[in-house]
Structure 1
Amino acid sequence: MNSLCGTRLSIISEKPQTTRNNILGILNGPGFQAVFVDTPGFLNGRNMFERSMANAIKRAASEEGDLCIFIAEPGLPPEDKIPLFEPLKQVRCPLYLAVNKLDKETTEARVKTAEEFYGKLLPVKQVFHISALTGGGLKELKAAIKAALPEHPPYYPTDQLTDRWEKFYAAEIIREQIFKLYTREIPYSSAVEIEVFRETPGENDEILAKIHIARESQKPIIIGKAGSMIKRLREASVKALAAFLRRPVELHLTVKVSPGWQDNPVFLKEIGFYEKK
C-alpha cells in the first residue's frame, strides 16, 4: 500500500506479521480517488490479540469493496497457511493477484509456481508481477485499479491520505523500530501505548510512550546492558518520528511488564485491537 499511495502509511520490516491493524490509505489522482485497506498477514491466532488480527482480515474480505488485491510471494505458501485463504474465495468483487518481491527473484520459475497455485485455489481475475521495493510493475497495477473503480464522488477530501491520527502512527513507528532492532520473541511480545502526545507551538512535540512486554525476563533484553538497547530504540524512533511528522520531537520511553496482555480484553481495547464480534 505504501508504494501504491506514494507515502508511508503501513510500517514495514523483514519479519512477518508486522502489520497488526487494518490501515486505510487514500490515493488521489486526476479524476479519481482509490481507498485501500491494508490488512495484517494471514495467521492462525493463538491468543485473543492474534485472533483479533485474523478477524481483521475476515472483516476486510466480507466488506463491500470494488476490488480485492491479494499480495503473495513467489513460490508455494506453507501447508498450514493454505486453509487461511478460505475467506478470499467468498469475496464478491474481482480478485487480483500481485506476486511481489520480484527484485529478489533470479528466475521466473517460482513466480510461475505462485501464479498457477493461487490461480487454481482462488477466483483470480488478473495477475500482476510487482516489486513494492523498486516500483516494478506498479504502473500497470495502478492502471488496472483505476479502470476497476466505479463512478462515485470522493469519499474523502482530496488532500487526505488516511483516516488515522498522528498518535496512532507514533505508536506504529516506535513498534517498527522494535521490529528492526530486536529479534526472536520481543517484537511479537511487545505493544506500544502512547500516553502523551503534546503539540506546543514553537516547541518540540512531546511524546511519552510505554512499551508493554509479556514477561519479566524480556525487560533486560529490551533495555539492554546499561540501557544501551533502549537508547538505540529511542534514537531510531526520534529520527523516524521527526521524518514522518516533519517536525522535531522529544520522546520518552518506559517499559512495563504486562503479563498476559495478549489475552486481556480491557488492555487490547485500550490500544485499539479487541473487538467482541
Structure 2
Amino acid sequence: MNDITRPDDPESRCGFVAIVGRPNVGKSTLLNHILGQKLSITSRKPQTTRHQVLGIKTMGPVQAIYVDTPGMHEEEPRALNRYMNKAATSALIDVDVVVFVVDQMAWTTADELVLEKLSRLTCPVILAVNKVDKIEKRETLLPHLDMLSKKREFTEIIPLSALKEMNLQPLEETVGRYLPQSVHFYPDDQVTDRSERFMAAEMVREKITRQLGAELPYSVAVEIEEFRRDGKTLHISALILVEREGQKKIIIGDKGERMRSIGQDARTDMERLFDSKVMLRLWVKVKRGWADSDRALKSLGMNDF
C-alpha cells in the first residue's frame, strides 16, 4: 500500500472536485473515462445516477477526488427526487473545484437552475462543454462558447467529449492546478470510497435501466441481501424492488427471459470489477410507495445526508 501522507513531497496536492449539471449531460460517463474504469452507472435515461459517488484519481503528486452527483432538476414531491436533489446540492459543500458539465450546443432552464446554485460558490468553476464531437457545424462552436462565457466568470471553458476521451487531459490538468497543497486523503491505488455491495447493486440497476428504460419508471431499487466469498467465487443475491405488480412482470419478462438477460449482463460487469467468478441470484418484490417514503429510502441506504 502506498503512503497516503506523502510527507516529503512539497508538490503534493489533494482536494474534492464536484461534477455537476442537469440530468443526462454525461457526468457519469466523464467520471468513468477520467478514472479509466467503470464506477458510475450510465444509461440514456436521465437521472440514472441517484447517489454521490467518489472517484479517486491519483497521478503522481496530485490526487483529485471527483464527486459524481445526480442531475439537478426541478423540485418534485417524491421522496426519491428530494433525495437526489439533496445529494447533488450537498456535493457543493466544501469542495475545492467544480466541473459544471453542459451538453454541446444546448442551454436550457435546467442549466440555468444549476448555474444559480453555483452563484454563491467562491471556488474555481470549470465549464466542461461535453459531446462536442456530435456538433455537425464546427464553426458554430466558438459563438456558443462566447455566449456561455458571459453566463458567469468561469475559471476555464473546456470543450470535450467524455465518451471519445477528447480533451480530458486538459480538463484534468486544469483541475490539478486549482487543488490545494495537501497530503493525499486516500491510498494512491484506491479508486472509490463505495463498498463492493454498493457497486453490485448499482450494476444490477444499470442493466434494468438500460434494458427497460422506455418501459419502466424510475421507481426501481436494488438491495443486496447476500455478498459472500467462498474461495474464488463470489455469491451475490440481489432483491429488485418495484412499486406495482405490472412492473414486476415487465422485469421478469416472458418465461423469465428478461430477468436472465439482466442477470447475465450484470454478472459480466461484476466479474470484471471484482476479478472473481460470480454466482448472481436475482428476484423481484413489490414494495408499494417506496419512492415516496423517506423511511423506505433510509432502509435502502439512501440516508447519506
Q: TM tier, shorter chain? A: over 0.9
Cα distance per residue 1:104-146 (max 9 Å; x no partner): 2222366446534543333312100111111110111111111
Partner of 2:301: 272
Residues 99 and 185 of structure 1, relative CA distance in 2, 3 Å threshold? same
Given that 1:68 and 1:96 are in contact with CA atoms closer than 8 Å, whether structure 2 keeps it comes out as: yes
Counterparts of 1:112 and 1:155, CA distance in 2: 39
For structure 2, which runs of at least 5 residues remain unmatched after alignment?
A: 1-30
Return the offset for 1:71: 0.9
User: What's the TM-score once normalised by structure 2's chain length?
Assistant: 0.84
User: Which shows bigger deviation, 185-194 or 35-44?
Assistant: 185-194
Residues 264 and 21 of structure 1, relative CA distance in 2, 3 Å threshold? same
Partner of 2:82: 51
Partner of 1:225: 254
Task: Identify which of 35, 45, 60 aligns with 2:91.
Answer: 60
Return the offset for 1:57: 1.5
Partner of 1:8: 38
Residues 64 and 34 of structure 1, relative CA distance in 2, 3 Å threshold? same
Counterparts of 2:145 and 2:302, CA distance in 1: 33
Given that 1:95 and 1:126 are in contact with CA atoms closer than 8 Å, whether structure 2 keeps it comes out as: yes
For structure 1, which runs of at least 5 residues remain unmatched after alignment?
A: none
Residues 176 and 96 of structure 1, relative CA distance in 2, 3 Å threshold? same
Kindly indicate whether structure 1 or structure 2 has the higher relative contact order, using CA contacts under 8 Å at least 6 residues apart.
Answer: 2
Pairing 1:1-277 to 2, within 5 Å after superposition: 1-46=31-76, 47-61=78-92, 63-79=93-109, 82-108=112-138, 111-112=141-142, 115-184=145-214, 186=216, 188-202=218-232, 204-274=233-303
Q: What letter matches 2:229 in structure 1? A: E
Given that 1:71 and 1:99 are in contact with CA atoms closer than 8 Å, whether structure 2 keeps it comes out as: yes
Given that 1:179 and 1:187 are in contact with CA atoms closer than 8 Å, whether structure 2 keeps it comes out as: no
Q: Secondary structure at the match of 2:194?
A: coil
User: What's the TM-score once normalised by structure 1's chain length?
Assistant: 0.93
Return the offset for 1:32: 1.4
Partner of 2:3: none
Tell me how large the CA RMSD over aligned residues is.
Answer: 1.8
Deviation beyond 6 Å, 4+ runs, structure 1:
none
Q: How many residues align?
A: 274
Given that 2:102 and 2:111 are in contact with CA atoms closer than 8 Å, whether structure 1 keeps it comes out as: no
Indicate the percent of aligned positions where both proteins have the same amino acid: 35
